[in-house]
Amino acid sequence: MSYKVRDRLKIIGGKKLKGEVKVQTSKNATLPIMSASLLAEGKVYLKDCPDIIDVQNMAKILKKLGANIVRTQDDYLIDSSNIKDVCLDYDLCKTMRSSIFLLGSTLAKFQSICLTMPGGCKIGKRPIDIHIEAFRRLNVKVTQLDDFVFFNASKARAGKIRLKLPSVGATENIVQFACKLKGKTIIYNSAREPEVVDLCNFLNKMGAKIYGAGTKKITIIGVEKLQGVEYKPISDRIVLGTLLVATAICGGTIRLIDKNINQNKKLIEILALMGCQINIKNDIITLSRDVPLKSVQKICTGYYPNFPTDLQSMLMVLNCVANGQTRIEEQVFENRFLIVGELKKMGAKIDIVNNHTAIVSGVRQLKAGKLKAYDLRGGASLVLAGLVAKGETIIENVHYIDRGYCHIENMLKSLGADIERI
Q: Please tell me the least confidently modeled range out of 19-33, 49-63, 108-122, 259-273.
A: 108-122
d(Cα 162, Cα 19) in Å, to the nearest integer? 46
Is the pLDDT confidence value at 261 over 80?
A: yes
Residue 214 has what pLDDT?
97
121 in catalytic set: yes
For residue 212, what is the DSSP state? -
Among residues 121, 179, 200, 276, the one annotated as catalytic is 121
Span 132-136, average pLDDT: 95
Residue 85 has what pLDDT?
67
Q: What is the pLDDT of residues 375-399, one digit of tens each?
A: 999 999 999 999 999 999 999 999 9
d(Cα 129, Cα 100) in Å, to the nearest integer? 12
Sign of CA dihedral 391, 18, 263, 195: negative
Residue 334 has what pLDDT?
72
Find all residues with CB under 8 Å of 252, minimum gap 6, and list them. Answer: 16, 17, 18, 288, 289, 415, 416
- 31, 62 contact by CB (below 8 A): no
Span 293-312, average pLDDT: 96
Q: What is the pLDDT of residues 161-210, one digit of tens each?
A: 999 999 999 999 999 999 999 999 999 999 999 999 999 999 999 999 99
d(Cα 199, Cα 209) in Å, to the nearest integer? 12
Residue 149 has what pLDDT?
85
Span 222-247, average pLDDT: 98
User: Quick count: other Cβ atoms within 10 Å of Cβ 381?
Assistant: 29
Residue 232 has what pLDDT?
98
Domains, the chain, ranges and CATH?
Answer: 9-24+236-421 (3.65.10.10), 27-231 (3.65.10.10)
Is the pLDDT confidence value at 277 over 60?
A: yes
Q: How far is CA 323 from the centre of its chain?
A: 30
Residue 90 has what pLDDT?
60
CA distances (Å), 154 to each of 109, 128, 141, 142, in order?
11, 21, 9, 12
Is the pLDDT confidence value at 98 over 70?
A: no
Helices (H) and strands (E) in the chain, counts: 14, 23
- 263, 236 contact by CB (below 8 A): no
**303-341 burial, b if ≥16 CB within 10 A, otherwise e?**
bbeebbbbbbbbbbbbbbbbeeebbbbbbbbebbbbbbe
Is the pLDDT confidence value at 350 over 50?
A: yes
Q: What is the pLDDT of residues 63-89, one digit of tens each?
A: 988 899 999 988 999 999 888 767 665
Banded pLDDT at 121 (limits 50, 70, 90): very low
Find all residues with CB under 8 Å of 269, minimum gap 6, and list them. Answer: none
Torsion angle (degrees, nearest 10) of CA 355, 172, 3, 257: -90
Is the pLDDT confidence value at 224 over 70?
A: yes
Q: What is the pLDDT of residues 20-71, one digit of tens each?
A: 999 999 999 999 999 999 999 999 999 999 999 989 989 988 998 889 999 9
Residue 147 has what pLDDT?
74
Q: Which amino acid is at 316?
A: M
Task: Look at residue 368 and give its three-state secondary structure.
Answer: coil
